[in-house]
Amino acid sequence: MQAMQIARVSLIYAAAAALGAACATSGTDPTGVATSASVTTTSVTTTSVTTGGAAGGSGGEGGAPAGQGTGGTAHFDYAPNGGAGGSNTCAAAEVKGKKAPVDIIFAIDTSGSMANEIAQVKANINGSFAAVLGQGDLDFRVTVLAAKGTSTFAVCVAPPLGGPNCGSNPPLYRAVSQTVGSTNGLSLLLSTYDSPNATLNWQSQLRYDATKAFIVITDDNANITAAAFDSGLLAKEPLGVFGTALKRNYVFYGIIGVDKNDPSKKCPDAVNIGPVYQSLVALTNGAQFSECEADYSPAFGAIAKNVLAKLSCQYTRPTNAPNGKAVDPSKVSVKLIDAMLQSTPFAHVDDVTKCAGLEWYYNDNQNPTSLTLCPDACSKVQAEVGGEVRIDVGCLEG
C-alpha cells in the first residue's frame, strides 16, 4: 500500500513594484514550516501576479483591470511535514514551477490609411510590448498577420522578437505575410489559421493549453459580426483550442477608431468606431484603445500587462516533486495566507460553471496540468497586499 507524504508548495508573492523582483524564501513560513535557501528569481514560475500589485485604469484606456496586479515573482518550495531534516520526507529542496503559456496573435490593417499606425507598431512591438512580457518572463509566442516588409504599408518585426529580413523567429515569432484590408482582419484570422497554404497557416504556432490573446489594429470596422467570429473560432480544430462558449480560452484587444475618452465617438483619423471589435472586447473582458494616438507605447504596454493579468489566477500544477516522487492531483489544498497570517481555504469544484465563491478548479479533471482560482477567489487574492497563496500537494511514496 502506498503511503502519502504531504509536501508543501508555497507560491510566495513578492510585493514589488517591478516585474521580476527578487524573492527570498529562507527561514520559516507563517505556519512555521522551514523553507529552502534564499534565491533570487528573475522568472515567473507560475503566471500568478504579485498580490496587491499595481492596478491599471478601467474601460478603454486603462492598463490591467482595476485591482489586478501586473506581474511578480513566485516559486514552489517543497518541504517535509515536520520541516527540513525530517525522515521519510517528500523533498526538502526548491523546485521551480513551469511558466504558463500565452499565444498572442496580431492582425494589422495595412491599407492606405494606416501609415501612422503601422509606424507605431514597428516602433513599439519589441519595446513596450515584448519587453514588458519578457520582464514578466511569460512563456509567450507571437504571430503577426500583416503584409510583411519594410515599405510604408508593411510590417517588419526586427530581432530580438522577429527574425532576419522581417521573417519568423521560431518558435517565439511567426510572420504571416498576408495583406490585411480595412475590414477583413477577422475573416482572415479565421481563414488563415488552418489554411492549406503552409505560408499562411499559423495553427502549428499555437499551444492547445495556452491562453490566446488577439490584438487587431485598424481604423475601420469588420465585415463579419462578433458572433460569427466567435463561433467560427470556437469551432476550429482541435476542438477546445480556443475554448468553448461557456469557457473561452481567448481574450480580444483592439486598437481601433474610438475616441480615447468616449468609445461611442470616432477619433479624428478613423473611418469607424469598430463596433464589432468593441463587442469582442466586451465578450472576452479584453481592452480597447484609440488608434488615433500619436504614441502607441502606453497601449502596447497596457495590453502586455493585461495579458499577464488575465493569467494571474492560473497555476501550473507540478506533476513531480524533487527526487522524482509523483504528485497526487486528488490530494491538493489551496489557501490564502493574508498579511495578518489569517488563513482562508479555497474549496475545489469540478469546473468553472460550479464556481460560487472562494473556490478553484482544474483545467482537466482527468489529466490536470493547471488549476485556476474562481472569480471571487481570484479577486480576493489580487486585492490582498502582503499575502501569499499556498498550495499543499500530496506525494505518493512507492
Write the CATH number of the domain with boundaries 101-310.
Answer: 3.40.50
Q: How confident is the model at residue 44 (pLDDT cuts 50, 70, 90)?
A: very low
pLDDT surpasses 90 at 187: yes
pLDDT surpasses 90 at 325: no
Reported as a single tens digit per residue, the pLDDT across 83-108 is 333 333 343 333 333 456 899 999 99
Q: Are 175 and 148 in contact (CB under 8 A)?
A: yes
Q: Which one has a higher pLDDT value, 264 or 49?
A: 264
Q: Residue holding cell 502519502? A: 4
Reported as a single tens digit per residue, the pLDDT across 192-234 is 999 999 999 999 999 998 889 999 999 999 999 999 999 999 9
pLDDT of 396 reads 67
pLDDT of 283 reads 96
pLDDT of 188 reads 98
Q: Quick one: which H or E segment has residue 177?
A: strand 173-177
Q: How far apart are CA 231 and CA 24, in angstroms?
A: 46
pLDDT of 100 reads 65
pLDDT surpasses 70 at 57: no
Reported as a single tens digit per residue, the pLDDT across 381-395 is 877 766 777 887 777
Q: Which one has a higher pLDDT value, 229 or 138?
A: 229
Ranges for all domains in the chain classified under CATH 3.40.50:
101-310
Q: How confident is the model at residue 321 (pLDDT cuts 50, 70, 90)?
A: low
pLDDT of 81 reads 38
What the block records as the C-alpha cell of 235 is 469551432
Q: What is the mean pLDDT of the chain?
A: 76
pLDDT of 99 reads 58
Strand order of the sheet with strand 326-337?
3-11, 388-397, 326-337, 343-348, 359-362, 370-373, 314-316
pLDDT surpasses 60 at 16: no
Instruction: Tally helices (H) and strands (E) across the chain.
Output: 7, 15
In terms of phi and psi (left: phi > 0; alpha: psi -120 to 50; beta: otherwise), the region of 59 is left
The whole-model pTM stands at 0.66
pLDDT surpasses 60 at 59: no
In terms of phi and psi (left: phi > 0; alpha: psi -120 to 50; beta: otherwise), the region of 255 is beta
